[in-house]
Amino acid sequence: MMNAAAGIFLASRRKPRVPYDAELEYLESTGTQWIDTGVVPTNTTGVLIECTVPTNNSRDNIVVGARQSSGGTRYWIDFDWSTYDTFYFGFGFLTPRADNSLRQYEGERVQVGMNYQNGRICTVNGEKFSDLPISGSLPTITKSIYCFRANYSNPYTYSGKIFSLKITDGLTLVRDFIPVRVGTVGYLYDRVSKRLFGNAGTGDFVLGQDVVPVEYILQTGTQYIDTLYPMADTRREVITVDWSGHSTTYREFMAGAASGSYLIEMSPTGYYGTAPTNLSSIQVSQKDRIRWDYTVGSRPSLYINDVFAINDTLVRVPTGNVMTGGVGRPGENFPKMKIYGLDVFTDADEQVRKMRPVRVGTDATSWDGAMMDVLTRRVYRNAGTGAFTIGPDKAA
């Protein structure tokens, strides 16, 4: 059924097939809540975490970690804003010490990785930040890794948000945590073991908004999503839409980048063009859920529903970020279409965005349409004006 006033489809509530009521955007600790992951670290243990960088509080802030005793028997990621004013990370006695450059992200979300299997590097937001050398004999740690603090007599608690946490042993994923709630109580749910991991501290986690997958979000003329990924680094873009309600007056741009560089446009007569090429055109029928697969390059190509459609000739390098519509000349650029998904790939065919429609909020009067990158669980909200119309909940 549909709540006409809110423009939201309200799917019938069904018994979930998972042991929680809703996924959350994040869990936030105020400094006394923490979770035991149950994983004992070794020199092949890897971590990939999405979290916020704590603001200057003149102390250690260990977001994940374990320490056997004093000295170098430790494995952790530490935003140390105390006397040392630095960023610690690693395994062993000579935990590599970086500088305080991560202060530029204070209060913001970052992705931090420690990879001991491939290259032994620490990454920040997907880019190499530092090597992870291991000097001398490796310490023995028998304690499990905690998140939101260290597993140690001095806990070095972390006040901040965790959006996701992956732990690997070599090439094997052993924990894949996402924040969830049962009623009003927050947990981390491990998608590997299918188990809930609860608060082992005191007080209650602060809960982020519910994130519920939906079939689609509908742009009604003024909304769009900015993926924040540069068009110049994009090799291929795949978008699935229903554009049967497109304008018969204006040209509309389904997907592409700002600054006049488009990938897919619909003309009033039902033709598509593929600037930044020479705007070669091909007429297609107005069908529900058309999958457009566009590859940029010296000889760009377009597939529609996996069927080859046309080649073009690149005439300029696109600029700006990849967006769902919202590009081009004012008044001619906002398509009216349902968006089912958007995938973005690099030249190396690495997928950097896997965007799927969701609704975010806390109750039936506050839901907003958005898209979540399921690779990182980052939610991308409306970059335009007004509100998306939200489709029905996606079947479990």
The answer on pLDDT for 178 being more than 70 is: yes
More confident: 160 or 4:
160
Q: Tell me if 26-208 shares its fold with 217-390.
A: yes
The answer on pLDDT for 162 being more than 90 is: yes
Q: What is the pLDDT of residue 276?
A: 44
Non-local CB neighbours of 13 within 8 Å, separated by 6+ positions: none
User: Collapsing DSSP states into helix, strand and coil, what is residue 103?
Assistant: helix
Q: Which of 145, 122, 136 is nearest to 42 (CA)?
A: 145
Non-local CB neighbours of 22 within 8 Å, separated by 6+ positions: 180, 181, 210, 211, 212
CA 161 centroid distance within chain: 14
pLDDT for 319-351, tens place per residue?
A: 677 777 654 444 445 667 888 999 989 878 889
More confident: 13 or 237:
237
The answer on pLDDT for 303 being more than 60 is: yes
6 pLDDT band, cuts 50/70/90, is very low
CA 156 centroid distance within chain: 27
Whole-structure pTM value: 0.82
Q: What is the CA radius of gyration of the chain?
A: 23
Q: Give the C-alpha separation, 156 to 80, whole Å.
A: 9
pLDDT for 254-272, tens place per residue?
A: 555 544 444 555 555 544 4
**What is the residue extent of each domain of the chain?**
26-208, 217-390
Q: Which of 328, 293, 289 is nearest to 307 (CA)?
A: 293
Could you tell me which CATH number the domain at 217-390 has?
2.60.120.200
| Cα 165–Cα 166–Cα 167 angle in degrees, nearest 5 | 125
What's the DSSP call for residue 365? T
**CATH topology (fold) of 26-208:** Jelly Rolls (2.60.120)
Which token pair is 66? 């374990």
46's enclosing H/E stretch is: strand 45-52
Q: What is the pLDDT of residue 107?
A: 86
pLDDT for 55-111, tens place per residue?
A: 867 778 889 988 887 766 778 888 888 767 777 777 765 455 566 777 788 889 999
- DSSP H stretches of helix in 246-334: none
Quickly count: other Cβ atoms within 10 Å of residue 233's Cβ: 13
Bond before 276 cis per omega within 30 degrees: yes
